[in-house]
Structure formats: C-alpha cells, structure tokens
Amino acid sequence: MLIPSLALTALWGTYTVSGFNEALDLRQTVRDVEAVGVNGVTAMVALQEERRLSMIYLSHPEADPDALDEQRADTDRRLAAMNEAAAPVVENNPPALKAIYEQIGQGLAMLPDLRQQIDARQLDHGAAYEFYTGAVSTGMRYFEAEARLTNDSEALNEGTTAADLFRALESLARQNAVLSAGLSSPTGMSAAEQRQLAGLVGVQREQWEVVAPALRGAQAEHHQEITAAPEWSMLVDAEQSAVETGRIAPGFEEWQSSMLEVAGSLQQLTLDQVDFAVGFANDRVDDLMTSVILTSVGALLAIALAVLISVLVSRALIRRLRDLRGATLRLAEERLPDVVGRLQRGERVELADAVPETGHGSDEIGQVAGAFATAQRIAVRAAIEQAETREGISRVFLNLAQRSQGLVHRQLALLDTLERDSEEDPDLLAELFRVDHLATRMRRNSENLSILGGAMPARRWRRPVPLTEILRAAASQTEDYSRVKLAGIPDVTLAGPVAGDMMHLLSELVENATTFAPPHTSVQIRAEVVPKGLGIEIEDRGIGMSDEVRAEANRLLVAAPEFNVMGFTEDTRLGLFVVARLAARHRVMITLRPSPYGGTSAIVLVPTELLQDAGARGQGPEPEPEPAAVMAGTASAGPAAPAAHAPPLTHAAPLTHAPPAAPAEADGARASAGMPTWARDTGHPAPAPV
C-alpha cells in the first residue's frame, strides 16, 4: 500500500503546487496590468489628442499653437508616468513583450524631432497622422499581449474586452483626427480624406459590434447611455454627412464639443473596463486560492483516510496472512513430520485428523489457504500410501525371509545329521562343512530381509556372549574367513540380547572387507576397551573408497534412512543399509575412514551399556590354550563356551578351514558343539576334526 499512497501524495502535491502557481501567476499579471494598463491607456489617449491637434495645426495656417503646446506637456507627463510604472514590469516580461515595449521607446524617442517639424510646418497632416497612429498601435499591441499573459480564461476575456474597447476608441479617435483636419482646412475635405474617413467609420462600427456584446454590468449600462445620448447621434450624423458631402451640418465648434464629450465618456468607459478586468482578475485569484486550498485540504484528508483504511486493511490482511503462514508452517514443520514419523512407526493415521479443515474464510486468502490444505492433504495421502507400500514390501520381505529361514533351518538340521553320520569319512565331512558354511551365509541373507522388513532376527541369546566368540562367528559367516586375522581382542562380553545383532553387523562389515580386497591380502580385526565403550576396528587392504562415496556411506551409517525399495539402484549396498539399521537399533557408532594400506577401516564403537564383565558368563576361567586345536561338532551350532584349549587371541591368527559357527541359539534349534578354532599363523590350516 506504500506505493499507491506515495502516488496519491505526489498527485496531490502536483495539483496543489500547480494550482498555487496558477493563482500566483494570475496575481502577478493583474499587478502588472494594474501598474501599466491605466497609465498606458491615459498616455495613449494623450497621444491621440496630440495627434488630432497636430493635424489641425498643420491643416489651418492660422491655428493657435497654445492648445497644442498644453497637450504636448500633458502627453509628456503621462508618458513619463507610463515609463516609470512599466520599468519594473518590463524587466520580468517575456522577450516578445520586451521587444514590443522597446519599439514603443524607439518611436517615442523621435517625438521631439517630429514636434519640431510640426512647429516649422515641415510636414503635412498626413505624415503626422502616420507617426502618431504608429505609436498608438504599438502601444495597443503591448497592452493586448500583456492581457494575454494570464492563464485564466475568464480573466483573459475581461482583459481582451478592455483591449478591444481601447481599439474601438482608437478607431473613433482616428476618424475624429481626420475629420478635424479636413474641416479645419481652408479648402475643406479632399476626396482622399473622405475615402479615408469612410474606411475608418466602417472599421469603428464593426469594432463596436464586437465590443458591445462583451460588455457587462455597469460597463454595458454606461455604453448604452453613451450611444443613447444626443451627442452620439450628432456624431453619427456628422460622420455620415462628411463621408457623403465632405461637410457637416452643425458648426465645427459644436461638433468638436460633442466629439470631445463622447470621446471623454468612451475613455472613461475604457478605464472602467480596465479597472473591472483588474478587479475581476483579483477575484479570480482569490477564488483560485480558495479552491486550491479547499481542494488540497479535501484531497489531503481523502488521502489520509485512504491511507488509514489501507493501513487497517493491510494489517488485517497481514494478520490473516501471518495466521495462514503460521498454520502452514506448523503443518509443514510439525504436523507433517509427526504424521510421517507415526507412519514410519507403523501407527494408523487418519487423513482428516492429520490435515484439518482451514477456517480462513472464502475470499482469496481463504482460497489460498484451501489450496495449501489441498496440497498438504495430497502430501499426507502420498505419505500414507507410501507407508502402506513400505509396509506391504516389508511384509513381502518378512514372508520371504520366514520361508527362507525355515528352509535354511531344515537344511542345517539335515546337515547336522549328515555330519554326525559322516565322521568316519574326512573328505565327505569337509564337503559337508562347506555346504554348512553356505547355508549359514544363506541364513544371514534371510536375516537381512527380516531386518529390511523391520523385524528382529530370530536368533537371540539370554546370557552374555564373549566378544571373541562373536568375532569368530562373524568371521566364519564370510566366504574367505581364512583371510581374517584377530589381534588384541580384550576379554569382554556383550549382553545376550544384542549378541546376535552385533554378530550380524560385524559379519556384514567383514564380508565387505574381504569382498573389496584382493584375495592375497588379509583383513585385520582389532578391539579395545575405551572410555565410551568398546572399539572394534576392521581394516582391509583393498581398493578403498573415494571421498564422495565414503562420505555418503558415513552419512548412511550415522542416520539410517527409511527403507525404500524404489530408491535402490544397482550401486546400492544393502549390507551397509542393514548395518546402519542394526547400529541405529543399539546406538552403535560406525565410521569409515581410509586405511594406511590404501583400503578402508571400519571403526565400530559399542556403547558401554551393551558390555558386561567377563565374570557374568558364569563359566569359570578360560582353559589353557592348546596349539592347533580343532573344532569338534557341527559348524552351524555355537558352543556355550570356547572350545577346550583354544589358543589365547593376543596375536594375529588365521581362522582354520573349519566351517562357520555361531553362539548357541536361544531357541535351542541347534545344539552347541564348538566353534572354529584359531591357530598360529604358520601358513597352514589346522587339521580337520576326526
């Protein structure tokens, strides 16, 4: 609303300034006309009379020069008054008006020489007529141009009427001068003077026809009085007689008296019209000032009211928009994440409760709010459908996992029977161990499906499990378990409920290490108790990872995203996703970093609350180590304790060719029969059990 308000204020300011400037310009024009107009009219009237007397003096050889001398003195006084009044006005006149006034000055500068020539009778009355008429015409041009300076049409009309009235007066004065000169001549009027008089009479009558309708008020009444007087009728008759015969019926003195009386009345009428025009213009100035002030104040009040209403409306709109923004943000930042979280947790969400109806009205803002609500409902509906899709996929995974696990368990049970029956045949037993190892890996893959489906692995332990057993079992579930070496494993145990998940987590990391490293390299596993728990490092000497891939993998391990089957590509590593799921379940921190050997090191930090003292196993002290001890029993079942006389794991040792083992299962599906043993790194595997 600021821009429209500023625009209205600018328009108001422009109108106000323009109105005041118009009024001030009109006032200045009125002052100029008042200062120059009256003095100018009286000066031109004096020149008109001097013209008439000069023409009489030149036409009659015995004419008395005293009247002419008196008129010259009066003319000089009136011209001096005009110049004095016009001096400050002309300085501010436009260039065109200044040029006209300069012409007046140049003509009047020749007046003394003209008078001398008239006194010496070196001119005829026609030459004197031309000079005085030119001077008066130049003066009339100046007054008319000055009257047109006004910017008010009504004041201009009154000023133009005054100028037209003076021009009609000049026409009368010209014909009186010509008639006076002709009648004063001893030979009477010539034919040329008659024709000149006829033209002047016609022009005068046309001008009066124009001026008379423009007069109003007292000036119109005064004009009617002049034209209704007997002197006017006598002048009209004398003009007609002189045009036709060159003579007038009354005597010259009687005609001259009537003529001077009518001329004086018309001169006064002209001055009255000038005064009326000045007064009318002053009234117009006052009216303009009043109109501008009232209009400006009214416009300012209207603008202020409009601004006030705009501010109130804007505040109401802003308040509603803020409410809409707050509701939208709360829905986007609080309700929608809460809905998504509930959906991820498997809770049931109703669409109407998740995105309630908006109460923002039915106007444009309400429609925008409705559009936002519609978009949010679509988003929630999509989230619900996506959650239902994920739930369906999870059920499919769980169903497949359960079927696979059932088959694997039956396969492992069958292998147990075959292994017991084949103890007398070492070669067959070794092949059965290899099949047992593959079945164990198949079981882990089935458990991966269960984890992706959101279920807990079926293998759980009720009592603490030593870290050594967990590491052995994790390594034994990889194809190249013989390349895995343990070093510096502390005597700690993990809580039974987390042992299966940790074994699964570590087996995925170990398999990644063996898969992405050359076959001739080893995978080192080290562990150490640290203030914040247990640190386990799995280091390979393989091809390593780029910085971008490693950073992306670390982000995945820190915060496992919701499983989305549509988001997986051929480059996606499901094992890392499973590891991230298991780590997030038990708040285990996993970090990948470059290995000094060019490969990758996986650092696993197990929280302290998942560890238990070694004495919690309730099995007494560890037995003395026995070199090259071998596994007894099936590979798929894990013992409740380490194999008898297993060597201490204080130095790096490769896993023998014995098949994989796992800690004893909580459900007792498979009996405990021992773990794969670890021999010194002699370069040869331990002998097969017999």
pLDDT for the residue numbered 358: 63
- Considering only 206-210, 320-324, 390-394, 575-579, which range has the smallest mean pLDDT? 390-394
Indicate the burial class of 84 (C-beta count within 10 angstroms; 0-12, 13-18, 19 or more): exposed
Using DSSP, how many helices (H) and how many strands (E) does the chain show?
Answer: 18, 9
Domains and CATH numbers, the chain: 2-300 (no CATH), 412-654 (3.30.565.10)
Average pLDDT, the chain: 77
- Considering only 194-203, 297-306, 598-607, 655-664, which range has the smallest mean pLDDT? 655-664
**DSSP SS3 for 678:** strand
pLDDT for the residue numbered 531: 92
Q: pLDDT exceeding 70 applies to what percent of the chain?
A: 78
**Greater pLDDT, 264 or 91:** 264
For the chain, what percentages of helix, strand and coil (3-state, to nearest 5) are there?
65, 5, 25
Confidence of residue 620 (pLDDT cuts 50, 70, 90): very low
Mean pLDDT computed over 330-352: 74
The two structure tokens encoding residue 17: 């300034």
**Greater pLDDT, 155 or 501:** 501
Confidence of residue 397 (pLDDT cuts 50, 70, 90): low
Give the β-pairing of 484-487 and 523-530: parallel
- Indicate whether 651 pLDDT > 50: no
pLDDT for the residue numbered 536: 95
Mean pLDDT computed over 310-318: 82
Mean pLDDT computed over 140-151: 77
DSSP 217: T
- Indicate whether 682 pLDDT > 60: no
Confidence of residue 69 (pLDDT cuts 50, 70, 90): very high
DSSP 662: -
Mean pLDDT computed over 564-586: 71
- Please state, in angstroms and rounded to a whole number, the distance separating the CA atoms of residues 155 and 218: 17
Q: Identify the sign of the CA torsion 642, 421, 460, 561.
A: positive
pLDDT for the residue numbered 315: 83
- Please state, in angstroms and rounded to a whole number, the distance separating the CA atoms of residues 556 and 574: 11
Among 132, 47, 141, 143, CA closest to 89: 143
Q: Please state whether the predicted TM-score (pTM) of the whole model is above 0.85.
A: no
**Greater pLDDT, 392 or 394:** 392
- Considering only 219-233, 453-467, 517-531, 642-656, which range has the smallest mean pLDDT? 642-656
Most confident of 114-128, 173-187, 235-249, 361-375: 114-128
pLDDT for the residue numbered 396: 76
pLDDT for the residue numbered 655: 46
pLDDT for the residue numbered 563: 61
pLDDT for the residue numbered 20: 66
What are the pLDDT digits (tens) for 450-478? 676 666 665 677 889 999 999 998 888 88
- Please state, in angstroms and rounded to a whole number, the distance separating the CA atoms of residues 370 and 84: 82
Most confident of 134-143, 250-259, 434-443: 134-143
Supply the DSSP string of 252-271, one letter for each residue.
Answer: HHHHHHHHHHHHHHHHHHHH
Alpha helices, DSSP H only, in 110-152? 111-119, 125-147
* Contact indicator for 600, 634 with CB cutoff of 8 Å: no
